[in-house]
Amino acid sequence: GQQVMQIPQYQHVQEGEDFTTYCNSSTTLSNIQWYKQRPGGHPVFLIQLVKSGEVKKQKRLTFQFGEAKKNSSLHITATQTTDVGTYFCAGLDGNEKLTFGTGTRLTIIP
Amino acid sequence: KAGVTQTPRYLIKTRGQQVTLSCSPISGHRSVSWYQQTPGQGLQFLFEYFSETQRNKGNFPGRFSGRQFSNSRSEMNVSTLELGDSALYLCASSIPGQEDYGYTFGSGTRLTVV
């Protein structure tokens, strides 16, 4: 079945530094979604990417979808303490089944 | 509008028992998906229901089952509980074809099996 891997598993950054998480799928995706889960919370939808090579920005967050629609990345510029949490990518396949990646847990050192 | 409501929030059960969890989606959302979240395995897809029909199923044993009612509310059932079933069970609702809005998750039911 479809597998979605993310690296790194954990990332500790100094406040103000940049952060990037990478997502790779074993199969081509219809689209990719990104979610953020705060400690003790539930996943919250951030964005969806549909087109090959698509790039979207939300303030300090930049999301990219690979040309082959099998990989994606999330980049946060100048991290803040509010960015703490686990970031998940999730790939939607042709059967509309959403498979979540393994997640990257981001911690910020003040 | 109200979000996705999951009940109960916490549950402690004994090995061998069975449990039923409930999920009420956002009004108008007809698709409900269930996920199991554990520290070691991340978010694992259980199943998805749309218009009372199971549309997708993950790789879980038959002890895990679900259903959806005509009002889109969904329940999942786990029979013959095992210690390894301890997890946070999350449900999410969505509108197929409107993935721009993503899945909206409930706060989850934390199940502890002792």
Closest CA to B39 of B82, B109, B86, B98: B86
* Mean pLDDT to the nearest integer, A11-30: 95
Chosen from A37, A48, A88, A98 to mutate, greatest number of chain B CBs within 10 A: A98
Q: How far is B37 from chain A (nearest CA, A)?
A: 10
Q: What is the pLDDT of residues B29-84, one digit of tens each?
A: 999 999 999 987 789 999 999 999 999 999 999 999 999 999 999 999 999 999 99
* Mean pLDDT to the nearest integer, A27-33: 92
Q: How far is B43 from chain A (nearest CA, A)?
A: 6
Q: How far is A45 from chain B (nearest CA, A)?
A: 6
Record: contact B45-A97, CB cut-off 8 A? yes
Burial of B75 (0-12, 13-18, 19+ CB in 10 A): middle
Nearest CA in chain B to A3: B44
**Phi-psi domain of A78 (left: phi exceeds 0; alpha: psi -120 through 50; beta: other):** left
Q: Note the pLDDT of residue B2.
A: 76
Q: Which of A42, A88, A95 sits opposite B108 (nearest CB)?
A: A42
B contact residues 35-74, partner A, Cβ 8 Å cutoff? 35, 42-43, 45, 48, 55-56, 59
